[in-house]
């Protein structure tokens, strides 16, 4: 019987459960506790909403802002479209005592190519940028992350998936 060879061009899949994501987001908060204190959190929507809520709770940060950037459009896994800032950051967070983002924490679920991270970092250049997961192309743009995955890995977050059978890896899963 002949074994099928792995296709190096095929993306790897990394499914993350709610439990695992919660543990990873709390681990991020532990790392960030030493980097703070932070007076505000800016979460990058939509992926940053869940980790930002967990980090805000753990670090007792009450001022939470969103920046809405659309980078994945259309249907299909891994299809990245043009970047659009749908909602910017309020002056209450970017100006005054936070001057350029000093003392502000940006939270997102993942830094992938770094395109979204670059747009957000340019809005608040002095902010501390943290993600739960990082890929090599985007990693230089974040200050803190928990887990690095290869560039060809697609992470299936728990809010993007439902319960379904997963075939064993050797059977094409």
Active site residue 143: no
**Three-state secondary-structure class, residue 139:** helix
As given in the structure block, the two tokens for residue 67 are: 């920046």
> Which residue out of 19, 91, 109, 143 is catalytically annotated?
109
How far apart are the C-alpha atoms of 130 and 170, rounded to whole Å?
Answer: 35
How far apart are the C-alpha atoms of 7 and 50, rounded to whole Å?
Answer: 33
How far apart are the C-alpha atoms of 130 and 149, rounded to whole Å?
Answer: 15
- Tokens 């560039």 — which residue? 151
Active site residue 82: no
> Which residue out of 82, 91, 108, 160 is catalytically annotated?
108
> Which residue out of 19, 24, 112, 143 is catalytically annotated?
112
Active site residue 24: no
User: Which residues have a catalytic role annotated?
Assistant: 108-109, 112
């Amino acid at each position: 019987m002949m074994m099928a060879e792995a296709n190096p061009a095929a993306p790897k899949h990394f499914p993350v459960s709610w439990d695992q994501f919660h543990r990873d987001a709390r681990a991020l908060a532990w790392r960030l506790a030493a980097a703070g204190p932070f007076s505000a959190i800016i979460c990058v929507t939509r992926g940053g909403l869940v980790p930002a809520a967990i980090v805000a709770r753990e670090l007792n940060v009450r001022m939470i802002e969103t920046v809405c950037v659309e980078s994945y459009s259309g249907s299909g896994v891994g299809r990245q479209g043009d970047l659009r800032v749908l909602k910017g950051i309020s002056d209450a967070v970017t100006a005054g005592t936070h001057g350029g983002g000093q003392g502000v924490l940006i939270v997102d679920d993942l830094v992938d190519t770094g395109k979204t991270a670059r747009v957000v970092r340019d809005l608040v250049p002095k902010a501390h940028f943290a993600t739960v997961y990082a890929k090599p192309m985007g990693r230089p743009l974040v200050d803190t992350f928990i887990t690095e995955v290869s560039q060809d890995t697609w992470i299936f977050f728990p809010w993007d998936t439902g319960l379904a059978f997963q075939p064993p890896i050797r059977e094409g899963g």
